Structures are given as structure tokens and as C-alpha cells.
Structure 1
């Protein structure tokens, strides 16, 4: 991110301000697209990481096979771009949400996850009433322990899905979010997850069940994907904008981060350190992997870690060279996806100028 340009562009704006270096974001999108093609993977960028139609449009133009959304609300908004497919890689539950998803399947190709036969029947009924067809995945737990199941449970589930008239079984997926559990060993954990899901797909196929797609998630595993040619697609989220979590696991360099929050120094307490006007409601309460900071401050003549957060303030306690009150700084957050959802708009900064854009899917459920 071009820190000097970003700080200059926001000099007349009240802070905190969410900023995207669109030039860097485009470079990141290109790299992700090229890496996917080199690994023969279909790329489904995850829009939860930016929630902007503007960036989703850039990702589709770069060759994305579709978009990944975390919620039905995000999918409804992103359907305006007419992507080839929208995937929701978590189960959708509740009559209202399932009904919305079935209706959306009239406008765009939809796929999602089913976790048991009961919810699959409910989804199948909704699709039948809407006159639609919905693609479904089954989810393997490779270590993150969220919505995934064991191979044994997936065999039973996959067998039952063949009786659904308006659902098509697309494949198997996982979210290997546990690669971010520690700074070291991320690629080893990714490799293990990829080996597990390929083996699980083989076991289910041995039952005579067709599974064409094997889908993975976490961006940090990108360097080793080419070692696993039987994977078919990737749902990358953090690859476009990046954050310090990606830097901590060596998935990208700090200079490749394309998102930050501009803040102002508002206090220099007598105890030492300083305070900025960006807290949990601008940065989120997500800590670094090692749990020792909430983001890194650059600008104002130094680099500092945010040690504590209040709702609207960030505290840097262990600082000797304290910036002056009124100084503008740029914060690189630990979790950009959680941060950007705190803002109605973001400033797109480029060498050609700046413009505000809506964070279209902010709060969309």
C-alpha cells in the first residue's frame, strides 16, 4: 500500500476512514488469478473479504469462475453482476433464508452446503416450489471444526442426496481455517487438509457417487496447491486485499496489503504511549495470531502496534517516540474482512486519484 499517497488523499477527511489501494488490489487479484490458472483451479473469490460490487467486478474481469458469498444477503447483492455461479460454502437454514436462496436460483446458478438429510429435504422442497435447481456440496472437517463432518457421515449424506429431485450434488468442500492457528506450519496444515479431502472424495466415489468438484478455501495454502492436482477449485478471500494475518503466515508481504484504516492521534496520556480514533468499531476485536496486538500503525514517522482497544479508540502503550496529537496514521488491521464491515463506504485510492465507493454488502444477511 502506498502509505504517503493514502495519507495525502485523506488529509481533508474526518477519521477513521477505510481505504483500499486499488492499484495494489488489482495486482493482488491478477496474482491470485494467475496462480489459480497455473494450478488448473477454478477461482471463486470470496466477497466477504471486501463486500464491494466494485471489487467483485474486478475479480470477475480477471477470470473468476464465480463468486463466493458467506450469506444469502451477500449473494442477492452480488447477483447484480450476473456471475457464472455464486457459491455459499456454509449451510443455509431457516424457512425465510432458504426461500430467498431458492428464489435467487432463478436469477443465477447457485450452490451451497447441506449438512444433513433433513435440511437437504427442506432445501429440495423450497427449490421445487420455486421451480429452481440448487447445487449442493458436502463439507469435510479437515481440522477447523466448524460445519464439516467426518468421512463416515459424508458417505451416508451423499447416498441420501441422490433421492432429491431439485438438488444436484456438485462435490465436496472444506474450509481449512485452522491453517491460521499458529504462525508456523501453515503450509503443512494446508497440505494435510488437501490430502484429506482428496482421499475423502475417493472414498465417496468408490460408492458409485459422482463428485466432480473438490473445493478448498484458505488463501494461505496457495503456495502448495499445485502439489495437489486433484483439487478443482479454490475460494480465496484474503488474496485481494490482505491483512497482517496473511503476513504472519507468510502468505503475502506487508507491502502487498491493499486495505487499511486511516486514523488520527487524539491523545498522549501522561503514562506514555498514544491513542488513535480507531477502535474495535473500525478495526474489530480480532487479535494477531500470537494474540499480542490488534493491528500495526504506519506513518507519523514510525511503526507501532495497537496494544488495546476500546469501542472507538486504539491504544499504543509501549512507545517511546510518540507522534504528535493530530498526526495522521495508517492502520493495517489483523482482519480486514471484519474491519471493512464496520464502514458504509471506503475510499478507493489510485495513482489516478481517489473516489468513495459503497461497501455494498455491509451487514447483508
Structure 2
């Protein structure tokens, strides 16, 4: 059963039902334009990661601003984005198993589709499925550049690239080189050093491929915490940043070159919580807990009222120190989630607002798309 949205277009924000996922559209659009301007100025392409927003509406907004396509993390996410009108998708993950690979090859008949591989058997299975379905898939060989997750060792990546180039039914499109661990290194210089090490790994692979006659290989990767380093490296051709559109509380802790918090992008995503109860201690209880926001990267910040602090979460409740504000049941508290990606996945609807009024209601297109 589909639940109705928490608001209607034209409603004042004060009347939005809670807890609700609310986006400040002015800040969202400013963030989208700022990252596109940075990519354009550096001469690199922007392929934002849709795992952050899971919204076909936002993906189309990014592409209208100049993004070449989007990234997805699961085949189900890609399928839903394609249904929502997105026609250029890179799945930045390994797709394994006959059922999922079949879906991948069928989807490739309708959109330009890429996928990452780090295994020769998986590559062969994907190529066979693509030939069977009459589709052609872009293959990106994922290189381990410091993430400690998927990816083939740099010294072994060349062989897999050559195998991909030789397979019928697929196109060898380039390298996936993403260091997610570097995204949340607070110190600017240390973040840059981590990406420099990733760049050395990429150079190893590119040199091997040049020797084998595979020059001009496309390199894609980067994230919100590190994009400036990849963009300025001369190695990466495409940026996959995602969270920049929202800027959660964790990314707000990253420092710029002057040792002060990064301010290139503003906070656009909020969980609007309602006050349920006031306690004798002076604290208040709100209706946004673990089922309304993710706390894996820390508790949310309180954007309003000023001076308030979110102290703890249980399933359906959050405890807030009002910081001197006279909050009463029914009042609203605006929360900046610690981690935007899993927070979005907890909601069915996105409420878009400008100047205190609801202007857009968007479904979270790929909510729960984990297959």
C-alpha cells in the first residue's frame, strides 16, 4: 500500500505532517549548479551518484544542468531510474548471479548502461548475457585504490581490462577508481594525500594498458569529500559525487585548505520533526528517531530552533535539548541528518519547499531498491 505524501503543493511548511523529508529547493539547485560549474571549469564530466537521493526527479534535474548521466549502486536502483526517464546509467558495483545479470542485460536494451567488474568469470557471464539479449554493455574494471572493498589490484587490472576489450557483447569503457574511505578524512591535506595515492594506483594500470595498445582509457570515480583532488589530477575524466546536493552533518565536518569547515555546498536536506512531549527535565521528545533518520555517521544537527541539540534516538523518538527555545507539542524541529543516503531510503516522499511553502512533492523513486 502506498501512503499519501505528508503535504500538498501550496501548503505552508508549518502544516507538513511529520516526520518528513524536506528539501530547500533553492539550496538544492545552487548545489547542483555549483558542482556542475566546478566540473566544467576543470574539463571533467559529472556523473552524480543517485544512491544519495534515489530520486528520478532529482536525477533529471542534475542532467538538465549538464550531468552526463548518473551512477546507481544496485540493478534495481538502475531499473527504477530508467523507468523515471534517466537514459545513461553506470552501476558502480559488481552485479553477480544469473537473475541479476539477466536484468542488467535486458535493461541495456533500453538505456546506455555500464557496470563494474573485478573478476574474469563475472565478466564472461555478463558478456554472454549481453550477447544473448542483443544488448551492449559498458564495462568498467574496478581498481582497488584504497577503499578496501571491491576492486582488482592495480598490477592485475591490466589483464582484466584486456579481457574486457576482447569480449563480444560488451565494450571496455574504462576504469572505476573510487576511494570512499578518503571522503570523510577531516584534514584537507590528508584527504589530498589519500587521493594522490589512489592516483598512483591508477597510473600503474594506465601504463600497463598503454603498453598493450589500450590508450586513452576513461577513469571515473571521486566523491563529495575528494572531488577537487580527482578533478585537478589530470587522471580522472568523470566525477561521481553524490552527497553534495544535500550536504549532511558528517560532510559538514570536513575541513578546507584553511582548516575551516567546507562551505562550497549548503545544507538542503532536512528531516522535519514534530514535538510530541515536553519532559520535566526541560528536554523535549520529537517524532523522528531511528526509523526517520540514519545515525551511523553520528546524530543529526538541529538547524532550528537555534541552540537546540539532538541528544539521542530510539525507534520512533528523538530527545532534544531545546537550548532555551520554548517548544511545545506540535512545534517543528529541523534536523540535518548525519548521513543523507540511508536517511532518504527511510522515506517514501520528498517535500520540496521554497520561501516557506511546499512547491513540489516527489516520490523516493528507488526507496528499498537493494536487489
The answer to whether TM tops 0.5 is yes
Match of 1:182 in 2: 185
Match of 1:328 in 2: 332
CA shift at 1:311, angstroms?
1.4
1:34 aligns with 2:34: no
- Superposed, 1:158-173 pairs within 5 Å as 158-173=161-176
CA 1:71–1:353 in 2, change beyond 3 Å: closer, same or farther?
same
CA shift at 1:84, angstroms?
5.1
1:284 aligns with 2:279: no
CA 1:274–1:169 in 2, change beyond 3 Å: closer, same or farther?
same
1:107 aligns with 2:110: yes
Given the alignment, which residue of 14, 17, 34 partners 1:14? 17
Q: Contact (CA 8 Å) 2:106, 2:133: kept in 1 or not?
A: yes
In structure 2, what is the Cα distance between the partners aligned to 1:192 and 1:49? 26
1:237 aligns with 2:247: no
Match of 1:121 in 2: 124
Pick which of 334-343 and 272-281 moved more: 272-281
Q: Which runs of 5+ in 1 are unaligned?
A: 1-7, 289-293
Q: Contact (CA 8 Å) 2:183, 2:224: kept in 1 or not?
A: no
- Per-residue deviation, residues 120-169 of structure 1 (Å, max 9, x unmatched): 11111110110111111111111111112211231232233243111111
Q: Secondary structure at the match of 1:49?
A: coil
In structure 2, what is the Cα distance between the partners aligned to 1:228 and 1:255? 22
CA shift at 1:223, angstroms?
2.7
Q: Secondary structure at the match of 1:280?
A: coil
In structure 1, what is the Cα distance between the partners aligned to 2:107 and 2:265? 39
> What CA RMSD, in Å, does the superposition of the two structures yield over aligned residues?
2.2
CA 1:256–1:141 in 2, change beyond 3 Å: closer, same or farther?
same
In structure 1, what is the Cα distance between the partners aligned to 2:184 and 2:60? 32
CA 1:354–1:189 in 2, change beyond 3 Å: closer, same or farther?
same
- For these two proteins, the number of residue pairs brought into alignment is 351
Match of 1:213 in 2: 218
- Superposed, 1:132-211 pairs within 5 Å as 132-184=135-187, 185-210=190-215
1:264 aligns with 2:267: no
- Superposed, 1:49-128 pairs within 5 Å as 49-80=52-83, 82-83=85-86, 85-128=88-131
Match of 2:5 in 1: none
Match of 1:24 in 2: 27
- Superposed, 1:336-351 pairs within 5 Å as 336-351=340-355
CA shift at 1:47, angstroms?
1.1
Report the TM-score, using the length of structure 2 for normalisation: 0.88
Pick which of 277-286 and 173-182 moved more: 173-182
Q: Secondary structure at the match of 2:292?
A: helix
Report the TM-score, using the length of structure 1 for normalisation: 0.89
- Runs of 4+ aligned residues of structure 1 deviating over 4 Å after TM superposition are 81-84
Q: Which runs of 5+ in 2 are unaligned?
A: 1-10, 257-261
